[in-house]
Amino acid sequence: MDCTNNMIEENGLKNELGTIICKRCGTVFATIPTNGYKLIYGICQNDNCQEQIGGENE
């Protein structure tokens, strides 16, 4: 396992196991480096999803 950690440090490689999913349309719109599998929900830049945000604030 130390060999893998050294390779990651030397090459700057990281596991992007964090997945960001739009809670409106279900599209995966980003990944982030995490220490394990993570699902994070947010709002993507799709116009339809952004319009739904405005309707909720009223």
User: Are 41 and 23 spatial neighbours (Cβ–Cβ below 8 Å)?
Assistant: yes
5 found inside a domain: no
What domain range is 47 assigned to?
15-56
Given a cut of 90, whether residue 58 has pLDDT beyond it is no
d(CA 16, CA 32): 5
3 found inside a domain: no
pTM of this structure: 0.62
20 found inside a domain: yes
Counting beta carbons within 10 angstroms of the beta carbon of residue 48, is it exposed (0 to 12), middle (13 to 18) or buried (19 or more)? exposed
23 found inside a domain: yes
pLDDT tens readout for residues 2-50: 555 555 556 555 678 899 999 999 999 999 998 889 999 999 999 999 8
CA trace torsion 7, 34, 52, 54 (10° rounding): -100
Q: Bridge partners of 39?
A: 19
Split into its structural domains, the chain has a count of 1
